[in-house]
Structure formats: structure tokens, C-alpha cells
Amino acid sequence: MRVSENILISSLTTMRLGGPARYVIEIEKPEEIPDAYGFAKTYHLPTYVLGGGANTIGRDEGFNGVIIINRIKGIIDIDKFTIKIMGGEIWDDVVEYSVNKNLTGIEALSKIPGLASAAPVQNIGAYGQEVADVLTEIEAYDTKTNTFCTLKRSDLKFSYRKSILNTTERNRYFVISITLKMREGQMARPFYNSIEKYISDHSLTDFSPKGIREIVSRIRADKLPDPAEKASSGSFFKNIYLNQSEAESAIAKGYPVHHGKDGYKINSGWLIEQAGFAGQLLHGMRVSSTAALVLINESATSYQDLEKARNEIINKVYDKFGYWLEQEPNEILNESTLKTIKNNVGA
């Protein structure tokens, strides 16, 4: 267990914003977890569990608490189709490992940044696959009971970008490992439009897990900035989900509504493009010209810069289409800031 003091959150997150965290603790073994939470309790400090920092935003005031980072490594084959992955493993390495075993189930989740421990928290998904489809259980530390436990898939109550880990039981569990059960074979067609278009444009015929991983990797490289090279948090806005009557109304207006296994949705990137923001620089934040739901930090130096850009986009999209965009990345909040937000919402 490594303890550091006064570490800038901007150095831990891919958007590269955020003031100092009072303490940062890096966990390398499961048995260190109780000590980390005990450290925070001794000093009466809140905790925040951080993964790779790709889906997290820091604020200017920093965090008067303890940020705990999962550095526990290891990938274990349980059987031919089942893999246990320790939470500190890089997610894309997990995808590569699975396709090298010719297993299908997560190949479309290639190049999603972050750690394995973060995958079930927000039920990561892309191109018709999501981690909920293959996850069987997680091992975790329960900070409420101070015990190690196992949670089954049904316990996590997965939905679009949600689980109990980021809703009803937010901050309760520290994810130690995840177990995935996949199968041999390949994704069923038709694929998502962007994959089908790429296949057609390049006359491809390999739809094996490795083939789909290669296609998705190329699509993402063409559209999405690498957080290691350009400061961003990946997809900054969630897509808009609609019920059937809302979808019918949207279709009647000429909006592109996609109907998949998770329901009807409109791509937020399309809404942002139609609102005229693609490629625009707003308060130091560049709206990606190739994937408008992505914000790139070109010259923003504060959370306020990001907030201004975000609100400008949200308000104009609402004025034009009547849909409220919702931010996807989490924010590291001090208790005082959280109380202020709750009071403002309730006002």
C-alpha cells in the first residue's frame, strides 16, 4: 500500500483538470483494502475510488479526502470460457486476452479506456455489447460491513450505464475482481451501422472476435481521441433513451432513432452536431469534429471552463430539440460541494 499526499487530480484523470487530493492510496493486494479505509476513518476523511481516470472529472477545489486506486493485477483462466480478472488490470488488455482465446462477448468493447474494476460500475458498453452480458460475479470489499464478499450479476441490477455500484450503493463496494463467462463463435449480424459501413468500405470478411476487435479499434482511432495524447474523458454525454411513443414522435420529426436490444435511442453526438457545435472551441474545450459527444481539453485550465462549455451545449440542444443531455463522467466532489448541488436541485 502506497500513501501519497497532496496529489493533483489533474495528474490522475484524462481530462487533466482538478486540484489536489489530500491523500492518494494505491492498493496492490486485497488485504491492504481494510487498511486503506481504516486510514481514512482515522483521519475522519471521505474516500473516492478511482480507476484509470478516463471517466472522472476533478474540480478546482480538489478533494479533501482519500482517493483509493486499484493496482491489483492478474488474469486467471477458470475454465475454457470463464476468466477472472483482478480490478487493476487495464480493460483493453482484458479484451485482447479474450480474443486471443477466440472468445466472443467483449470484442466490441475494444479500446475503451480504464481499469477492469470500473467495467461493472457503469456497465460499459459499445456497438451492441455490454459487460453485463458476460459478467457472472464480482469480488468486492464491503465498506458498510467491513467484510469481503461476492456479488452475483443479478445483485448488481445492471441497466444502461448503471449498476448499484454507481447508484443505490455508490461508494459502498471496492471491486477486487470481476469474472466473465464468454463463448466461442462470433457476434451476430447485422452489426451496428458504423461497423457495417466500415466492413463495406474496406471489403472485410473476418468477423471473428479478433476481426471485430480490429475493426472497432480502427473506428475508434478514426473518431475518438486517445486520452494519452489529447485530454478528454471519452464520451462526455450519454445517449438519449426514449420510450416507444417518444421514439415515434422523434421519427416523425426526422430524427435518427436507433432501435436495439436496449431500447430506442438518439445518438447525443448527432444532436450536438445539428446544434452546430461539431469542431467548435468553447471556453478551451473543443467539441470533436468526428464524434461530437466527445469534449477535448485544448486550453481549459479550470473546472469552470468545462462547466461553461457543457452548459452551453446542454442548453442549446434543449432549446433546439427538447432533450436534456446528461453528463457521463463522474465527478470527485467534496461533501460541501455535494450538499450545495443537492440543495440547488431541491430548490
Average pLDDT rounded to a whole number, residues 189-207: 93
CATH of 237-327, one of 3.40.50.300, 3.40.630.30, 3.30.470.10, 3.90.78.10: 3.90.78.10
Residue with cell 466527445: 294
**Catalytic: 161?**
yes
**Catalytic: 328?**
yes
- At 228-270, the pLDDT tens digits run 789 999 889 999 999 999 999 999 999 999 887 678 999 999 9
pLDDT at 341 over 90: no
pLDDT at 339 over 70: no
How does the average pLDDT of the chain come out, rounded? 94
Tell me what pLDDT residue 263 has. Answer: 85
**Catalytic: 235?**
yes
The verdict on domain 2-70 having CATH code 3.30.43.10 is yes
Give strand pairing partners of 70.
27
pLDDT at 347 over 90: no
Q: How far apart are CA 36 and CA 27, in angstroms?
A: 8
pLDDT at 200 over 90: yes
Tell me what pLDDT residue 319 has. Answer: 97
Please identify which of the residues 235, 268, 288, 310 carries the catalytic annotation: 235
Give the best-scoring range by mean pLDDT among 120-129, 229-238, 313-322, 325-334: 313-322
Among 172, 54, 144, 217, smallest CA distance to 156 is for 172
Q: How far apart are CA 314 and CA 331, in angstroms?
A: 17
Tell me what pLDDT residue 40 has. Answer: 97
Looking at the chain, the whole-number percentage of residues with pLDDT higher than 70 is 97
Tell me what pLDDT residue 142 has. Answer: 98
The CATH number of the domain covering residues in 75-184: 3.30.465.10
Q: Structural domain boundaries of the chain?
A: 2-70, 75-184, 237-327
Tell me what pLDDT residue 32 has. Answer: 98
- Cβ partners under 8 Å of residue 175, min gap 6: 49, 70, 87, 117, 118, 120, 121, 138, 139, 140, 165
- At 59-107, the pLDDT tens digits run 999 999 999 999 999 999 999 999 999 999 999 999 999 999 999 999 9
| CA quadruple 216, 218, 223, 228: dihedral sign | positive
Q: Label residue 310 by pLDDT band (50, 70, 90).
A: very high
The three grid cell numbers given for residue 216, joined into one nine-digit string: 472497432
Whether the Cβ atoms of residue 136 and residue 182 lie closer than 8 Å to each other: no
Please identify which of the residues 161, 213, 286, 310 carries the catalytic annotation: 161
